[in-house]
């Protein structure tokens, strides 16, 4: 199996920045795609950004394009997300997820490994 641990969340003012990290361990050779999802209170979980570990143009949700940047360290199967120009509507629990062979990076059911999440709160 694969274990994922997120870090980097916190409280930030509107317009501020945060950098999330996701460290993976275990059978990391199984990982084909990785993503950041988020879930705000009362809303469904949504894919924010995703990558294939083999390399490709990253996916971004329209709501974060131009503000968030996903990056990866393939050697250590570590995932990052730089979040700039944060807005109150970005407030959510952010989850790191990993999928195995055949995963479709925007399809939540294809992600079999999940972290416990890190809270991001954007408020003045």
Condensed to tens digits (0 to 9), the pLDDT of residues 40-51 reads: 999 999 999 999
CB-based contact 32:101 (threshold 8 Å): yes
Q: What is the chain's percent helix, strand, coil content, to nearest 5?
A: 5, 50, 40
Condensed to tens digits (0 to 9), the pLDDT of residues 103-123 reads: 998 899 999 999 999 999 999
Sheet of 68-73, strand order: 2-7, 18-26, 78-83, 68-73
Tell me the average pLDDT across 63-73: 96
Tell me the average pLDDT across 1-20: 97
Which pLDDT score, from 0 to 100, does residue 55 have?
A: 80
Residue 33: other Cβ atoms inside 10 A: 24
Q: With 90 as the cut, is the pLDDT of residue 102 above it?
A: no
């Amino acid at each position: 199996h694969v274990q994922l641990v997120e870090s980097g969340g916190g409280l930030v003012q509107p317009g501020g920045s945060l950098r999330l990290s996701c460290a993976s361990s275990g059978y990391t050779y199984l990982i084909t795609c990785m993503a950041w999802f988020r879930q705000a209170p009362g809303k469904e979980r949504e894919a924010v950004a995703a990558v294939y570990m083999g390399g490709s143009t990253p996916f971004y949700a329209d709501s974060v394009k131009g503000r968030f940047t996903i990056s990866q360290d393939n050697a250590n199967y570590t995932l990052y997300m730089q979040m700039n120009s944060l807005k109150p509507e970005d407030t959510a629990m952010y989850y790191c997820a990993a999928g195995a062979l055949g995963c479709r990076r925007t399809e939540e059911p294809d992600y079999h490994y999940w972290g416990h999440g890190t809270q991001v709160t954007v408020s003045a």
